[in-house]
Structure 1
Amino acid sequence: MASAELDIRQEIPARRHELIFSTYGALAADEQFVLVNDHDPKPLYYQFAAEHAGRFTWEYLEEGPEVWKVRIGRLAG
């Protein structure tokens, strides 16, 4: 199954996390999307870990130096 892409590179920084978390919130259990970003979204990972511990997946697909892609999924339960 192909994952939808959310490319936030052209969004203003203040809006990026809002878009990411609303996209995550709209996922059904076991669905995922691919985040496309212009830097390593490591701080975002820590925010997911704090707010959604044990309920998400995080897999790097591409790690820079120009583009980072991370598959983020919502776990069932």
Structure 2
Amino acid sequence: MSDYKGRVDIREIMPHQDKYPTVHGTFESLKVGEKMELLNDHDFKPIFTYKFPEDFPGQYEWNYLEQGPEVWRVEVIKIKEV
């Protein structure tokens, strides 16, 4: 059984413009202390450098689970609500 309340495989989401809204919505659905897993075919750094800090300031922590070269996985933990 998984510890993740949400899992988003970004590689499977089409069209492209639906990718971030899916990640965003999954994070929003988490309760404090819950976590989600993200999978992609490239690094998540742009999401956590630009988008999440703007949309969810101070509300999350993230950690690499796998860093390529073919699969990138991170866990994102909701640490507080605003």
TM score, norm. by length of structure 2: 0.84
Mind listing any 5+ residue stretches in structure 2 that lack a counterpart? none
- Large movers: runs of 4+ above 4 Å: none
> Residue 49 in 1 paired to residue 53 in 2?
yes
Q: CA deviation at 1:53?
A: 1.6
Give the structure 2 partner of residue 10 of structure 1.
12
Q: CA deviation at 1:5?
A: 2.2
Secondary structure of the residue that 1:72 maps to in structure 2? strand
Identity of aligned residues (%): 32
1:25-61 deviation digits (Å, cap 9, x = unpaired)? 0000110110011111111102111221211111010
Mind listing any 5+ residue stretches in structure 1 that lack a counterpart? none
How many corresponding residue pairs? 77
TM score, norm. by length of structure 1: 0.89
